[in-house]
Amino acid sequence: MDEGFVTANGVRLHYVAKGAGERIVFIHGFPEFWQAWQHQLDDFGKDHCAIALDMRGYNLSDKPEGVDAYSVDVLLEDVRAFIQSFGPEPVVVVAHDWGGVCAWHFAAKYPELTRKLVIINSPHPATLYRELKTNEAQRDAMRYVLTFRKPTADALLCENDFARLAKLFESWEIGGHKLSPDTVAAYKAAWAQPGALDAMLNYYRATNIHPPGPNAPGVMGFEPDLSQWLVRVPTQVIWGEQDGALLPALLDGLQDYVPDLRIDRVPEGSHWVAHEFPERVNGLIREFLSDG
């Protein structure tokens, strides 16, 4: 694999790339980093130029100070500048969790740069806004966001050798792939980078699409223009239905905002479905890319 840095939107972003051909850009979420896409880099790097970056605040990328440096408007410009640094052609974007948040906004604003969009367990902003306003179960499932927004959250997540974050590994072996100690060590090394956890949590502090809490109204405090979130590029959503934080109702009505839409559900998959069933996820992506 090739490894390097790109200066994009004023920050230095680390990336890893493998292969040659059409570009596929993989965007990770919380609390991961480029290595979240190892299975995809190995597969798609055989016949594509597969690129996985560390988002700002993560691992080896820059970690600017201040919550405002992590707003969605800033993050999507990171993605735009990063993608365009490799050339002007539109690319396939594959994204998960917070990477998906950025990718939804990116595809809506820059359809000319997005050939196809693949989203893995990351809600469209319009359906997330709707569900947080109207669905008590979804509000309850995302109460953790209120904890993540607190100034003390990074210290909490550091406790006992990152024990709370390490829970994400618990389901990764269900598809038959053994969890390597080297993988666990690499994640903990990324979390231990100076300033990383606080920067990673700033993603949550900068958004207002969250359940209402004692110190912030969240979704109850604004009325967005939903037309700004229309995604008109061909889009695939892969959804592990055992996601405890993001409930399946987030998929209801999605076609109202994404007219060219394919949804692939993995009933036994969780939020970490790309780790649990990498061959199945890769196969679904390849089907989508070859269609049309």
In the 8-state DSSP scheme, what is residue 55? P
Domain edges within the chain: 2-290
For residue 184, give the nearest of 174, 198, 170 by alpha carbon. Answer: 170
- The per-residue pLDDT for 271 is 98
Q: CB neighbours of 227 closer than 8 A, spacing ≥ 6?
A: none
pLDDT per residue as tens digits for the range 208-234: 999 999 889 999 999 999 999 999 999
Gap between the Cα atoms of 70 and 60, Å rounded: 16
In the 8-state DSSP scheme, what is residue 220? G
pTM of the shown model:
0.98
| Residue numbers annotated as active site | 97, 204, 271
Q: What stretch of H or E contains 109?
A: helix 97-109
Q: CB neighbours of 249 closer than 8 A, spacing ≥ 6?
A: 131, 135, 137, 138
Name the residue type at position 177. Answer: H
3-state class of 246 per DSSP?
A: coil
Pick the CATH number of 2-290 from 3.40.50.2020, 1.10.8.10, 3.40.50.10470, 3.40.50.1820: 3.40.50.1820
Residues of the chain with pLDDT under 70: none
- The per-residue pLDDT for 103 is 98
- The per-residue pLDDT for 214 is 87
- The per-residue pLDDT for 215 is 84
